[in-house]
């Protein structure tokens, strides 16, 4: 819109310059100076209205107006969730604000937008408009936890500055747009928990692909309906990926060996697909990998050799059809291993006693194999051990831990549990259910009002509540409250680093949900008040949804679910306004005049909006024709009638824009109707912007714009009719 305005003013001033050269003298200089000043006024007036217009569209669509959204300038007065630079909106952060409706295509009018965070607004639905691709300065796009559906538009590939893209937990379907491969600055890509189908797009001679995202660190595509093979071209040694999360899809074929070329990888989830073939041997070169999830596939061949992967802490390769093999020696050599799960993997032989010398071991699940002989638990080094599950094997003897143990041992359906041993706890016990664990409170019985909850610091308040879902789980010791204390402290530290009024965080109810991820109930308590206002609640949701929590390393990446409505009243959040001081007495005077004029326009903005863009809701009845900043909206049929069907008899001239026809309105007024040629038409918003501008410029030497028509594929301007020839003839004294 701004470029169109400048283009028009350039033409306007060039014409004026030509006029001054023809007219000559002082009079021409005065006219030129006056018109230059008018151009300044026009630009300044646009500033107050230009950002308000699309925001008004959003407010009407979402049926929202927070208490701080007063006045007609979003960049003045501290509109909650809105930040500006040089009086242009650069950030919209409205996480968990209870927004409903759709994301209108007019979002494209906010051309300076860099951050758009509408996460956790379940009421936002509909298609993601293709016009989002026109926000070419966008760096951060976060629509987590909304209800958008349909295809992800290909135009998203036009957002070349984008570094963060998360469309997680919506209902998007169709293919992954290959155009995402154009987003070469992308750091974080999360399209998980949708209904996407097809395979991963890779580049070819005519189309981009995900393999071009060499700067990306995160590929999150879990829980979709993706199918087909994982293309070998998707990975290369040039990539910087740390997370590859493809679990719970319908992927087939073998794991590409190129995955082993990505030396930066720290976590891989390929579980719960239909992958087959052998695990590539070069995965043992991934020296930084901490988590490897390959369970519930159809993998065959030898059990992968993970020797020397000393960063590994979590391994799950359960429920595959590997070759029958003895228990691998690397079980005992990976000293950072906390969780080892190899259920139903055709292992045999004895478990080496050295495995239990691992100081970090927490969980060992080797059930439903052919492990036999002696299980030697006499010397266990780990103080964190919680579970040893050896159910459905062929163990015949046991050396228990000296001095007793605090872990759960399961030997059900082993020969050792036959006969007189059936009464032993390890032959009848089931895994302890930790789903109702709540970290202990330091408070005694604090009496709180109805609906309030006691915080860890023993104050009563209405907390902001939700659920954190951890994608990777490199710990399984749900009963160790030290984990929760560390996470609590990290969360509080994060919130306070953003200057949010958070007193404390309570965690509880850890469960493994249907997604096979750890789900953790969270309560965030306000500081100095009994509840968060909407500003505080939205800010907390934004911090969490943007993956900026300073969580402990072993908790890994996460997602979140926050129900709307637990925050309280409204508040305010000041937008960022950056001004510039300019010297020079003449320029200062001009700026002062512009400021006065813009202030007047600001006060009239609400009334003017009813006559502003967009045009979709404008009535075309001439009896009550609405105005667009002073211009009447005519229907195409009306203009046909006024020009006798655009007859040649009413044709008074032509130009680069199109033909001009003489017309007569019902009032008897004669008008000049300028009809655009097809090859000179602009887009709807650009045409509307120019109409707004032309209708606002008034001067005794300028022909006034009276109206316009934008329907049936036409773009028509209606001017006052000037019977004495054109400006060039008058200036030339012809």
Query: Tell me: the pLDDT tens digits for 95-138?
Result: 988 899 999 999 999 999 999 999 999 999 999 999 999 999 99
Q: What is the tens place of the pLDDT at every residue in 290-326?
A: 999 999 999 999 999 999 999 999 999 999 999 999 9
Q: What is the tens place of the pLDDT at every residue in 17-26?
A: 444 444 444 4
Dihedrals phi, psi of 709, to nearest 5 degrees = -145, 130
Instruction: State the DSSP H helix or E strand holding residue 524, giving kind and residue range, or none if neither.
Output: strand 518-526
What pLDDT, on a 0 to 100 scale, did the predictor assign at position 613? 34
Who's near 364: CB < 8 A, 6+ residues apart? 340, 355, 387, 388, 389
Q: What is the tens place of the pLDDT at every residue in 408-449?
A: 999 999 999 987 776 688 887 554 444 344 444 556 556 777
As separate numbers, helices (DSSP H) first and strands (DSSP E) second, the chain gives 10, 41
What pLDDT, on a 0 to 100 scale, did the predictor assign at position 721? 79
Cα separations (Å) of 542 from 117, 125, 374, 465, 466?
Answer: 7, 19, 53, 14, 13
The confidence band for 593, taking pLDDT boundaries of 50, 70 and 90, is: very low
DSSP secondary structure, 436-498, as one string: T--PPPS-------TT-EE-TTS-EEB-EEEEEEES------TT-HHHHHHHHHHHHHHHHHT
Are 581 and 77 a contacting pair, CB within 8 Å?
A: no
What pLDDT, on a 0 to 100 scale, did the predictor assign at position 518? 67
Tokens linked to 149: 């559906």
For residue 660, list its beta bridge partners.
653, 674
What pLDDT, on a 0 to 100 scale, did the predictor assign at position 695? 60
Cα separation, 270 vs 273, in Å, equals 7
Average pLDDT, the chain: 77
Q: What is the dihedral of CA 58, 62, 68, 69, to 10 degrees?
A: 30
The larger pLDDT score, comparing residue 510 to residue 120, is at 120
**Fold match flag (453-561 vs 610-734):** no
Cα separation, 386 vs 55, in Å, equals 54
For residue 89, list its beta bridge partners.
84
- Most confident stretch, 32-41, 544-553, 632-641: 632-641
CATH 3.30.450 fits 453-561, yes or no: no
Helix pair 534-545, 481-497: axis angle to 10 deg? 120
pLDDT of residue 603 exceeding 50, the answer is no
Are 296 and 274 a contacting pair, CB within 8 Å?
A: no
Report pTM. Answer: 0.64
pLDDT of residue 29 exceeding 70, the answer is no
Cα separation, 600 vs 1, in Å, equals 22
What pLDDT, on a 0 to 100 scale, did the predictor assign at position 430? 53
Place of tokens 């930066």: 264
Dihedrals phi, psi of 91, to nearest 5 degrees = -145, 130
For residue 322, list its beta bridge partners.
none
674 assigned binding-site residue: yes
* Lowest pLDDT segment from 145-149, 227-231, 578-582, 601-605: 578-582
* CATH (one of 3.30.200.20, 2.40.170.20, 2.170.190.11, 3.40.50.300) for 610-734: 3.30.200.20
What pLDDT, on a 0 to 100 scale, did the predictor assign at position 473? 55
Strand spans (E) along 138-258? 140-142, 147-151, 164-166, 171-174, 188-190, 195-198, 218-220, 225-229, 243-245, 250-252
For residue 149, list its beta bridge partners.
127, 171
What pLDDT, on a 0 to 100 scale, did the predictor assign at position 138? 97
Half-sphere CA count of 445, side-chain side, radius 13 A: 0
Q: Residue 94's closest CA among 564, 469, 521, 461?
A: 564
* Lowest pLDDT segment from 294-303, 579-588, 690-699: 579-588
Q: Is the alpha carbon torsion for 499, 505, 509, 511 positive or negative?
A: positive
Q: Give me the residue spans of the domains in the chain.
A: 453-561, 610-734
Section 612-622 average pLDDT: 36
What pLDDT, on a 0 to 100 scale, did the predictor assign at position 282? 95
pLDDT of residue 1 exceeding 50, the answer is no
Q: What percent of the chain lies above the pLDDT cut of 90?
A: 41
Cα separation, 673 vs 695, in Å, equals 15
Query: How many residues in the chain?
Result: 734
Section 170-194 average pLDDT: 97
Terminal Cα distance for the chain, rounded: 37
Q: What is the dihedral of CA 122, 126, 128, 131, to 10 degrees?
A: -130
Tokens linked to 265: 């990888």
What pLDDT, on a 0 to 100 scale, did the predictor assign at position 417? 92
Tokens linked to 338: 């906390």
- Reduce the DSSP state of residue 214 to 3 states and report it: coil
Q: Residue 712's closest CA among 627, 606, 621, 639?
A: 639
Tokens linked to 707: 């109206």
Q: What is the tens place of the pLDDT at every residue in 68-94?
A: 888 888 888 788 899 999 989 999 999
Write the burial class of residue 364 (CB in 10 Å: 0-12 exposed, 13-18 middle, 19+ buried): buried
Dihedrals phi, psi of 239, to nearest 5 degrees = -80, 155
Section 680-692 average pLDDT: 63
pLDDT of residue 351 exceeding 60, the answer is yes
Tokens linked to 403: 């001095």
The DSSP letter of residue 304 is P
Dihedrals phi, psi of 533, to nearest 5 degrees = -80, 175
Instruction: State the DSSP H helix or E strand holding residue 599, giving kind and residue range, or none if neither.
Output: helix 585-603
Instruction: State the DSSP H helix or E strand holding residue 2, giving kind and residue range, or none if neither.
Output: helix 2-23
Helix pair 684-696, 2-23: axis angle to 10 deg? 40
Q: What is the tens place of the pLDDT at every residue in 644-656?
A: 888 888 888 887 6
DSSP secondary structure, 369-436, as one string: SEEEEEEE-S----SS--EEE--SSEEEEEEPPTT--SSEEE-TTSGGGSGGGGGSGGGT------TT
Q: Is the alpha carbon torsion for 53, 57, 59, 60 positive or negative?
A: positive
pLDDT of residue 230 exceeding 90, the answer is yes
Half-sphere CA count of 344, side-chain side, radius 13 A: 10
């Amino acid at each position: 819109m701004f470029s169109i305005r400048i283009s028009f003013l350039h033409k306007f001033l060039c014409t004026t310059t030509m006029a001054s050269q023809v007219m000559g003298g002082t009079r021409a200089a005065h006219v030129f100076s006056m018109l230059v000043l008018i151009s300044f006024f026009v630009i300044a007036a646009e500033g107050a209205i230009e950002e308000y217009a699309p925001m008004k569209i959003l407010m009407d669509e979402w049926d929202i107006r927070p208490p701080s959204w007063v006045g007609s300038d979003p960049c003045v007065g501290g509109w909650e969730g809105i930040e500006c630079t040089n009086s242009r909106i650069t950030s919209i952060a409205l996480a968990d604000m209870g927004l409903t409706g759709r994301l209108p295509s007019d979002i494209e009018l906010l051309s300076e937008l860099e951050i758009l965070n509408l996460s956790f607004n379940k009421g936002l639905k509909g298609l993601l408009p293709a016009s989002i691709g026109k926000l070419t300065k966008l760096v951060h796009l976060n629509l987590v936890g909304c209800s958008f559906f349909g295809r992800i538009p290909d135009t998203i590939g036009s957002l070349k500055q984008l570094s963060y893209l998360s469309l997680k937990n919506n209902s998007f379907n169709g293919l992954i747009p290959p155009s995402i491969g154009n987003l070469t600055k992308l750091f974080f890509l999360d399209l998980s928990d949708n209904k996407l189908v097809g395979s991963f797009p890779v580049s070819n001679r005519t189309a981009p692909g995900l393999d071009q995202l060499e700067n990306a660190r995160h590929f999150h595509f879990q829980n979709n309906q993706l199918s087909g093979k994982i293309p070998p071209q998707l990975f290369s040694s040039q990539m910087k990926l740390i997370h590859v999360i493809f679990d719970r899809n319908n992927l087939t074929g073998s794991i590409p060996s190129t995955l082993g070329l990505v030396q930066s990888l720290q976590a891989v989830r390929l579980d719960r697909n239909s992958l087959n073939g052998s695990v590539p041997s070069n995965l043992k070169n991934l020296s930084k990998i901490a988590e490897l999830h390959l369970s519930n596939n159809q993998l065959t061949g030898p059990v992968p050799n993970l020797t020397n992967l000393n960063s590994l802490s979590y391994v799950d390769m359960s429920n595959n059809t590997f070759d029958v093999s003895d228990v691998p020696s690397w079980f005992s050599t990976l000293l950072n291993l906390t969780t080892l799960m190899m259920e139903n993997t055709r292992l045999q032989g004895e478990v080496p006693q050295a495995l239990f010398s691992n100081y970090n071991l927490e969980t060992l699940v080797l059930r439903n194999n052919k492990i036999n002989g002696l299980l030697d638990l006499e010397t266990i080094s780990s103080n964190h051990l919680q579970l040893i599950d050896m159910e459905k094997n062929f163990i015949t003897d046991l050396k228990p831990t000296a001095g007793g143990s605090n872990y759960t041992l399961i030997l059900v359906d082993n020969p050792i549990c036959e006969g007189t041993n059936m009464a032993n706890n390890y032959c009848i016990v089931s895994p302890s259910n930790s789903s109702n664990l709540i970290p202990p409170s330091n408070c005694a019985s604090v009496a709180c009002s109805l609906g309030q909850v006691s915080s860890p610091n023993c104050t009563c308040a209405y907390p902001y509540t939700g659920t954190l879902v951890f994608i990777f789980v490199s710990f399984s010791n749900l009963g160790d409250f030290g984990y929760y204390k560390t996470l609590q402290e990290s969360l509080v530290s994060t919130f306070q680093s953003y200057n949010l009024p958070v007193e404390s965080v309570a965690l509880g109810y850890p469960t493994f949900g249907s997604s096979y991820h750890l789900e953790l109930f969270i309560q965030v308590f306000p500081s100095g008040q009994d509840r968060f206002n909407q500003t505080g609640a939205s800010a907390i949701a934004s911090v969490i949804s943007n993956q900026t929590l300073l969580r402990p390393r072993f908790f890994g990446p996460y997602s979140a679910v926050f129900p709307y409505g637990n925050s309280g009243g409204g508040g305010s959040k000041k937008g960022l306004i950056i001004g510039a001081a300019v010297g020079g007495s003449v320029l200062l005077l001009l700026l002062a005049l512009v400021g006065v004029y813009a202030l007047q326009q600001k006060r009239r903005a609400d009334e003017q909006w009813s006559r502003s863009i967009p045009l979709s809701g404008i009535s075309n009845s001439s009896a009550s024709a609405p105005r667009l900043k002073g211009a009447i909206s005519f229907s195409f049929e009306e203009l046909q009638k006024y020009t006798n069907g655009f007859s040649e008899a009413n044709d008074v001239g032509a130009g680069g824009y199109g033909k001009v026809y003489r017309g007569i309105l019902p009032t008897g007024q004669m008008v000049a109707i300028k009809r655009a040629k097809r090859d000179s038409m602009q887009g709807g918003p650009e045409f509307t912007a120019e109409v707004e501008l032309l209708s606002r410029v008034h001067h005794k030497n300028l022909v006034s714009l009276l109206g316009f028509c934008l329907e049936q594929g036409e773009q028509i301007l209606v001017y006052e009719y000037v019977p004495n020839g054109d400006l060039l003839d008058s200036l030339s004294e012809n």
